Structure 1
Amino acid sequence: MKGRHKQSRDPRGHWLLLILVLPAMFAALLFEGWTNHEVDEAKTRSPCTSPAPDAVADGNGPVIGINRSGIQTGSMPARTVALTFDGGPDPVWTPRLLDLLRRNRAHATFFLIGSRAARYPELVRRIRAEGHEIGSNTYTGAVLGEASSLRFSTELDLTQTALAGAADVHTTLLRMPRTTSADTLCGREWQAAQQATARGYVLVTADKASRKPAQGLIRQFSQTATAYRATQKLLRNPGVDRFTTVSDGLDLTPYTPVSTVARWEGTALVWGSVLGRGFSTAMTWVLGIAGGLGVLRLALLVLFARAHVRRLERFRPGAPWLREVTEPVTVLVPAYNEEAGIESTLRSLLDSTHPELQIIVIDDGSTDRTAEIAVGIGDPRVEVIRTPNAGKAAALNTGLARTRHGIVVMVDADTVFEPDAVHRLVQPLAHPAVGAVSGNTKVGNRRGLLAKWQHLEYCFGFNLDRRMFEVLECMTTVPGAIGAFRRDALLGLGGISDDTLAEDTDLTMALWRAGWRVLYEESAVAWTEVPTSLRQLWRQRYRWCYGTLQAMWKHRGAMFGVGTAGRFGRRGLTYLALFQVVLPLLAPVIDVYALYGVLFLDPLQSAAVWFAFLGTQLVCAGYALRLDGERRRTLWSMPLQIFVYRQLMYLVVIQSVVALLLGTRLKWQRMRRSGTAAEQIGGPDPYKSLPTR
């Protein structure tokens, strides 16, 4: 069907926005994970296979450089102590250490982790402003001797970039992680040390514990409570004349000039770290919300489905103790280019067990043989109306004006009815408060993985939802494929509105607001044809989602209504907002968290969380299939949904929300039919005649 909704903006702009924003978000998140969690075992140091060179192990001190003259070492002058602190900046202990040093008029050298410097740039600036010295402790604290050549360069270069962005400095001082005194530079660590000095670094280790302050020493501390107390004690040592920095004590040049480009790169790195940290924190919160909403939805579906099965058969309208509805029924079949399936639809309706039917086919300006095939049925119960193309809502209103009976059934032209479907569908209308009834739509063409996923969705999602909606009295949609209505209720609303792309959802919500009840008759079964390609599926679901959002906004006033309208608004609209808008927007976080956890956290714990959620879904889906009388062997395909189908549905919701917020108007997206709705019934289509010339 075509409609009157046109595109006023190019929807490719939405994709451009997603293409630009989402990769940036995920890149920042992955970078945050790499810099703050383990990627490999580069923080574990292997045993030394060869000792440090004698010139280092037995040299004059813990400060090491290599130039044309070979290995050069140095140590602090007598009664001079260089306090050095590794691993910061720390938001708790770095400020306390700085306060302690200021009170004692002492200076120190802070060997900073680059990732933490990017995270806390204000502390880096304070260290620099208070006269202390800054050195590199690599970007993530990785053991350089165990790192690949690429990571080795990355650890050093990113640290310099972070320091340039945080405090406008490039340092020449390096303390290699997991090293203490000079003799620990052995084996692979010595090879890494040689590479570092070739880059212009001066290596700073620490004096052995046996060396006394009176001899002059470099003391190594971390930035912890224990280090704070040890520093406090050392600062009171009467054998020390001066507490100073490494470069001041040895007359070294600690910094090199920072270029403008390096400064810009550093600023970008600092902001990237801020964004990554923000995304990581937000992801944790979103994971909790998404997981909670997902589990809550599953619990609600199962709880109310059981209530629907166990209790409502006695009390709802249409129960056996109510009168049987045998009044004549008018069936409206709007059709636009439906030659592939119109014959099967009409013949299945003509085989209906209901006593009397008036079938009106409204050909909405078709350019194929739809009208000819409908006329060729040759049954007096079938009337064909040809109109210029004006959209599905207009076609339905045209048919509504020609109805002769008080009960109207609306049918899509690609739907095949079970013989008793119409009769069962109209039975709940025996109760005068019921204005509409939703039937049970099932997937007819289930061949192929994509079709099987949609079959699961129809049973587990749509039909289980409808059971719950009936219990809560807030049915949100009577599907266009199979739905029964009171003619008076439709005329009281002024017919079917074309304000949205989801005219069935719009109509259902309008009925609630007018005071009518809407029910679900699961025994009224119709078989529909679903998309068989991702492109067709995308177009269909985009229209559904966008139209539902339009209908929700149009009927938002029901949230503040009273009686039937208020119950629908506060229950139905809230459910749609939480579980069909917010949850799909947040749900990708569960998959992202699983990947994030496998890469950077505990893989087993992350996998356990993910599989627990999947297992819960499988159990609920199995229950839904049993309620619908379907075989549960289809469940094998459900875990595969996460790789394609679920991601597609998430993106549909995201694009629909973006399109609605940007005010884009969409045209009707029609699916190309193949006439396979009756495929699941078995064998050749029993309602389709041989082709005619």
Structure 2
Amino acid sequence: MAARARRLVPRPSWAVYAAVFVVLGGILFVQAYASGAFIPDYRSETTSGSGQDDVPEEIRKGGPIVNTTAERPQSYSLPARTVVLTFDDGPDPIWTPAVLEVLEKHQVPGTFFVLGSQVVRYPDLVRELDAKGHELGVHTFTHPYLAELPGWQRRMEYTQTQLVIAGATGSRTNLVRFPYSSRADAFLDQDWPLLQQAGELGYLTVVNDLDSRDWERQGADGMVERSIPAGYAGAITLWHDSGGDRSQTIEALDRYIPLMKERGYTFTTVSGGLNRALAEAGVTGATAGPTEATASERWRGQMLIMAVRAADGTFIVFGALFVVVGVLTIGRTVLMFVLALRHARKRRRPDFAWGPPVTEPVSVIVPAYNEKEGIAAAVRSLAAGDHPGGIEVVVVDDGSTDGTADIAAGLGLPNVRVVRKPNGGKPSALNTGVALARHDLIVMVDGDTIFEPDAVRRLVQPFGDPRVGAVAGNVKVGNRRSMIAKWQHIEYVIGFNLDRRLYETLRCMPTIPGAIGAFRRKALEYAGGMTDDTLAEDTDVTMALGRAGWKVVYEDSARAWTEAPSSIGQLWKQRYRWSYGTMQAMWKHRRGVLDKGASGRFSRRCLAFLTLFGVLLPLAAPVIDLLAVFGLIFLDRTATVVAWAAMLGLQFLTAIVAFRLDKEKLGVLWVLPLQQFVYRQLMYLVLLQSVVTALTGGRLGWQKLKRTGLEPAGTAGAPRPLPLPAEAASPRQVRF
């Protein structure tokens, strides 16, 4: 049977990622607009000192209904003993139904000047208002102070509100009320262009005769008193069904309506009152009221409703994720502080010892594929180690085409063997090295890594405890000159080494690093050796050891220096392989959570931590950045900066603790704030593509990185390998 083809994953498309962020940005933009983030705040001083010279006298001294649709502006008052109840700022899910209940109780209609931003969130309420015979009017979309907006934006405020009314009810209205307006005699010169534009758009502008001032919440008695017309004059009265606690409004309406009925008043809508006024004036053929919306208006309105509701829903999800990310981040930080510090204190006790000193000989396996830049320095540093039992170095050249094996063989080191084999991948090279190794303590090293002279000796000391099956060493970034390398240096110290202290304490170490790790031979054999089931063979075998009941520990004093990727592309390849390989290992060992005994305990802890802090937290973490940008643009900037600074301060505190524990200089931490704007976003994208690859079943190939080689002395503080005897004999070479 032919082997099943493996589908390769396409290269990351920056256009796709950009499109995702544009969509998310658009959603947040819609939410910000619907929440009124773009509108100027109303300030009473903006109306002071404005005259009324431009406002025609017939408007200033006229009624509350203003018609500027014709060449000559007109205004209308209600007939005697006629009252219109108008309600602003709704609909509201609590108070609009309460107002409706009072109106139905007394069998009177009302006119509701609605906000488009509320209509899109509660279209059912608007539909109910229309179905029960109440009238709707436009009160703009976001409740801005219109005099400070340009004409195009005012038009948009009216049009969008009209559209969502059409989308919710299938009808359109020709009534508009400006936010912050009052009576006709209060129109100022700056209001006249608004009135003219409203007329050009076909709207009648509605103000009020009497204002209940229910927004002051000074008691129902005052509201009723302020809403009673002098004599038997007709009146448009102003109330609110949104904007806060309206319980006093409900109480006042329940008393006001019966009182006015006792005085002989009838209640109608704005259009009903206008039609009566026109009839009394002998104007025939002119009627006011709602009209049927076109199919296009209904469809566009429904789309706008869905868009804003989707944006609101997304923002709610983002808010929940923000809380989750915050809780997980703080919880993880506290846990690291407590357990990592406990780990460090325990190791520094004078009486601490793993057991008897380990002096057994050690075999070091170096899998190498096209490592000509760094193989010489790496092999020299290993061969010169000061372990008293002796060190055997086995370099397994995995089909290199750049002369790696020749370079290693040409060093002439007596304790080095060079093995040549056809290319089969890193797990195959490691298994070959283990099979050829003469000793039971096995150290595995990447071909670009330089060991400190005492690293091997320190690395194997934990094997003094017979329960220890593997040991993770302390990986250091050797090339720290570039900004990218500095960021990785910080990540290694904080994200890797500090985490390993935590994992050891909890007995759930997920990974022995390929750069410096040690194993007992029998532990490796029990785990089945290195496999190519995943792209993270180090994580795979470490999980297998943990499930088998072996202790996996971290020895921070065993240090090795590695060359970190120096470009964004190389870093992407490395982290993509790491993340995807880790997910493969998690999936491979997923059934361990159902096991009993040591396997179950390890699996539940390890997979829970990796899932929460290795996958879910990084996937959700971009919400912090998105909401930070959103807050800087649309919310309280001070509060946003304080919140972001608090998160950065927490990271600084974590970094300081980690650097102190690792005895690193703190000077490099000046790049930590910059890391938040580039490096962290790159890691988000890497993890995102890894998740997509895993979900779609793609197969990621081996990602070989370009190396330049560490300097002989080790860039940025890496140690110089010890000199070797000049008379060293040629190493033994084996071919497969």
Q: Give the TM-score category using the shorter length.
A: over 0.9
Listed as ranges, the gaps of 5+ residues in structure 1 are 689-693
Q: Which residue of 2 aligns with 1:691?
A: none
Shift of 1:313: 4.8
Q: Which amino acid aligns with 2:369?
A: Y
Matched, 1:332 2:365: yes
Shift of 1:10: 3.9
- Return the alpha-carbon distance in structure 2 between the equivalents of residues 600 and 213 of structure 1: 49
2:110 aligned to 105, 108, 111, which one?
108
Structure 1 residues 684 and 466, CA, compared in 2 at 3 Å: closer, same or farther?
closer
Matched, 1:345 2:378: yes
Matched, 1:629 2:647: no
Structure 1 residues 521 and 612, CA, compared in 2 at 3 Å: closer, same or farther?
same
- Return the alpha-carbon distance in structure 1 between the equivalents of residues 679 and 5 of structure 2: 27
TM-score, normalization: structure 1? 0.94
Q: Which residue of 1 aligns with 2:268?
A: 244
Deviation per CA, 1:421-477, whole angstroms, max 9, x where unpaired? 111111111221111100000000001211111111101110000111121221111
| 1:107–1:131 CA contact under 8 A, matched in 2 | yes
- Return the alpha-carbon distance in structure 2 between the equivalents of residues 485 and 194 of structure 1: 84
Structure 1 residues 149 and 220, CA, compared in 2 at 3 Å: closer, same or farther?
same
Shift of 1:257: 4.6
Matched, 1:383 2:417: yes
Matches within 5 A, 1:133-282: 133-208=135-210, 211-212=229-230, 214-223=232-241, 224-236=246-258, 237=260, 238-251=262-275, 252-282=287-317
Q: Which amino acid aligns with 1:263?
A: R
| 1:517–1:564 CA contact under 8 A, matched in 2 | no
| 1:6–1:667 CA contact under 8 A, matched in 2 | no
Q: Which residue of 2 aligns with 1:504?
A: 538
Q: Which residue of 2 aligns with 1:47?
A: 47
Matches within 5 A, 1:397-416: 397-416=431-450
Q: Which residue of 1 aligns with 2:488?
A: 454
Matches within 5 A, 1:284-433: 284-313=319-348, 319-320=352-353, 322-355=355-388, 356-433=390-467
631-640 or 185-194, which deviates more: 185-194
Deviation per CA, 1:521-540, whole angstroms, max 9, x where unpaired? 10000001111111111111
Shift of 1:232: 2.4
- Return the alpha-carbon distance in structure 1 between the equivalents of residues 350 and 157 of structure 2: 70
28-37 or 519-528, which deviates more: 28-37
Matches within 5 A, 1:79-94: 79-94=81-96
- Return the alpha-carbon distance in structure 1 between the equivalents of residues 347 and 362 of structure 2: 26
Structure 1 residues 477 and 213, CA, compared in 2 at 3 Å: closer, same or farther?
farther
Shift of 1:481: 0.3
Q: Which residue of 1 aligns with 2:646?
A: 612
2:592 aligned to 558, 561, 566, which one?
558
| 1:7–1:666 CA contact under 8 A, matched in 2 | no
- Return the alpha-carbon distance in structure 1 between the equivalents of residues 569 and 649 of structure 2: 29
- SS of aligned partner of 2:676: helix
- Return the alpha-carbon distance in structure 1 between the equivalents of residues 451 and 569 of structure 2: 27
Matches within 5 A, 1:539-554: 539-554=573-588
Q: Which residue of 2 aligns with 1:488?
A: 522
| 2:384–2:722 CA contact under 8 A, matched in 1 | no
- SS of aligned partner of 2:707: coil
- SS of aligned partner of 1:363: strand
Structure 1 residues 55 and 228, CA, compared in 2 at 3 Å: closer, same or farther?
farther
| 1:343–1:687 CA contact under 8 A, matched in 2 | no
Structure 1 residues 6 and 484, CA, compared in 2 at 3 Å: closer, same or farther?
farther
- SS of aligned partner of 2:436: coil
Q: Which residue of 1 aligns with 2:126?
A: 124
Structure 1 residues 193 and 629, CA, compared in 2 at 3 Å: closer, same or farther?
same
Shift of 1:54: 4.3
495-504 or 272-281, which deviates more: 272-281
Matched length: 683
Q: Which amino acid aligns with 1:461?
A: G
| 2:116–2:165 CA contact under 8 A, matched in 1 | yes
- Return the alpha-carbon distance in structure 2 between the equivalents of residues 7 and 291 of structure 1: 39
- SS of aligned partner of 1:497: coil
| 1:344–1:687 CA contact under 8 A, matched in 2 | no
TM-score, normalization: structure 2? 0.88
492-501 or 476-485, which deviates more: 492-501
- SS of aligned partner of 1:524: strand
Deviation per CA, 1:614-647, whole angstroms, max 9, x where unpaired? 1111011011111111110111111111111111
Structure 1 residues 118 and 12, CA, compared in 2 at 3 Å: closer, same or farther?
farther
Q: Which amino acid aligns with 1:272?
A: A
Q: Which amino acid aligns with 1:368?
A: D
Q: Which amino acid aligns with 1:531?
A: P
Q: Which residue of 1 aligns with 2:707?
A: 673
Structure 1 residues 404 and 684, CA, compared in 2 at 3 Å: closer, same or farther?
closer
Q: Give the RMSD, CA atoms, in angstroms.
A: 2.4
Listed as ranges, the gaps of 5+ residues in structure 2 are 211-225, 276-286, 725-736
Q: Which amino acid aligns with 1:681?
A: G
- SS of aligned partner of 1:95: helix
Shift of 1:42: 3.8
Shift of 1:212: 3.5
| 1:25–1:276 CA contact under 8 A, matched in 2 | no
- SS of aligned partner of 2:120: helix
| 1:359–1:381 CA contact under 8 A, matched in 2 | yes
Deviation per CA, 1:551-599, whole angstroms, max 9, x where unpaired? 1121123323344333322222211111111111121222222223333
| 2:354–2:461 CA contact under 8 A, matched in 1 | no
Shift of 1:192: 2.1
Matches within 5 A, 1:69-88: 69-88=71-90
